[in-house]
Amino acid sequence: MIKDSEYRELTNLVYQHFGIALGHEKRTMVTHRLQTWVGEQGFSTFQDYLSYLKQDNQGSALMSLANRLTTNYSYFYRESEQLEFFFKKALPQKNAQSIGPGNSTLNIWSAGCASGEEPYCLAMLLNEYFGNSFVQWDMGILATDLDTVILQEAHKGVYREDRLNRLPPTYRLKYLKPDKKGYWAVDDSLKRLVHFTRYNLIRDQFSFKNKFYAIFCRNVMIYFDQQTINALVERFYHVLENEGYLIIGQTESLDKNKTKLTYVAPSIYQKRV
Ligand SMILES: C[S@@+](CC[C@H](N)C(=O)[O-])C[C@H]1O[C@@H](n2cnc3c(N)ncnc32)[C@H](O)[C@@H]1O
């Protein structure tokens, strides 16, 4: 069993390093995910494991802990209302302002991309939207997550059928190939557009060469407290282009008194300078 004081120590570490707020209600889940695993790692008590975590100069023990505790559930075409807004209202504005062949850039960030369904879905919708004019754009999707194990899955781009249930069948047939075991593999044309990398939204610096026209950070901030969300959104603000969008999960919302972003539709905010 994890003692009260040990649970407090662990949750403080998780909060400091990953911004994830694990309240008392998460104790059963945390115990379930860690108890046997900590034993398998060779620690005879939970206190020994905590001491090891606290001396983790390389960050690898903390990384394994993050991999163990994060909730990575995702699927293709999730929260389609936001996708509709982005591709029918936001992107046409950007397209209309583009400065011509060879000079138009479009950078999108899928922050907290889990197993990759979100960025691959964005890649196929971009391909559909731009059609033949796709080649005139310098376009890229940065897809990041804290969890290194899930990022390996994302890289592979192979999905069970149930992750594709919401995706219109025409897109599934055009952009994914079935194998004999009932899995579907993402086409290389989508993979070329997506760059996966590990990124801790709480601790890592936001030092990007280019600003983003859109940041999709959906169903990630749900694990953070209000203070952490406010600080993160402020940092997102600085890496967004003027008129760019922050799109969050449908069950998430921003404190309108604390953000410089303008609310435009449910879960959709715009930078207007
Ligand atoms: C539920 S998934 C959301 C996936 C996708 N955005 C969607 O809406 O389907 C949440 C993801 O946030 C990631 N995450 C949690 N804390 C994070 C942090 N501090 N930095 C980066 N990613 C984090 C988790 O590893 C997890 O994969």
Question: Tokens standing for 123?
Answer: 């890649």
CA 129 – ligand 1 centroid, Å: 26
Same domain, residue pair 20 and 121: no
The CA-atom distances, in angstroms, between 264 and each of 36, 230, 244 are: 46, 18, 12
- Residue 75 counted as domain residue: no
Q: CA 134: distance to chain centroid? A: 24
How far is the C-alpha of 166 from the C-alpha of 87, rounded, in Å? Answer: 17
Question: Tokens standing for 138?
Answer: 């310098």
Same domain, residue pair 112 and 60: no
Query: φ, ψ for residue 152 (rounded to 5)?
Result: -65, -40
Q: Which atom of ligand 1 is nearest to 150's Cα?
A: 27
CA 133 – ligand 1 centroid, Å: 32
- Residue 244 counted as domain residue: yes
The protein residue with its alpha carbon nearest to ligand 1, atom 2, reads 72
Across 53-62, 73-82, 88-97, which has the greatest mean pLDDT? 73-82
The protein residue with its alpha carbon nearest to ligand 1, atom 11, reads 112
CA 217 – ligand 1 centroid, Å: 8
Q: Is the CB of 221 under 6 A from ligand 1?
A: no
Same domain, residue pair 131 and 252: yes
Model confidence, pTM: 0.96
Q: Is the CB of 120 under 6 A from ligand 1?
A: no
pLDDT value of position 58: 82
Task: Report residue 63's pLDDT band, with 50, 70 and 90 as the boundaries.
Answer: very high
The mean per-residue pLDDT over the stretch 97-120 comes to 89
The mean per-residue pLDDT over the stretch 178-194 comes to 95
Q: Which of 35, 69, 103 is the last residue of a domain?
A: 69
Q: Is the CB of 11 under 6 A from ligand 1?
A: no
Q: Which of 43, 69, 95 is the last residue of a domain?
A: 69
Segment 235-244, tens digit of pLDDT: 999 999 999 9
Q: Is the CB of 224 under 6 A from ligand 1?
A: no
Looking up residue 29, the CATH number of its domain turns out to be: 1.10.155.10
Q: Which atom of ligand 1 is nearest to 204's Cα?
A: 20
Q: Is the CB of 145 under 6 A from ligand 1?
A: yes
Query: φ, ψ for residue 59 (rounded to 5)?
Result: 90, 0
- Beta-carbon count within 10 A of 262 CB: 11
Which domain does 190 fall in, by range? 80-270
Segment 11-55, tens digit of pLDDT: 999 999 999 999 999 999 999 999 999 999 999 999 999 999 999
User: Measuring CA to CA, which residue among 158, 90, 159, 76 is closest to residue 119?
Assistant: 76
The mean per-residue pLDDT over the stretch 131-153 comes to 94
Q: Confirm if 252 and 147 have CB atoms less than 8 A apart.
A: no
Q: Which of 69, 103, 125 is the last residue of a domain?
A: 69
pLDDT value of position 129: 96
Q: Is the CB of 223 under 6 A from ligand 1?
A: yes
Q: Confirm if 265 and 85 have CB atoms less than 8 A apart.
A: yes
The mean predicted confidence, pLDDT, of the chain is 95
Q: How many domains does the chain have?
A: 2
Same domain, residue pair 163 and 203: yes
Q: Is the CB of 18 under 6 A from ligand 1?
A: yes
The mean per-residue pLDDT over the stretch 105-110 comes to 97
pLDDT value of position 101: 64
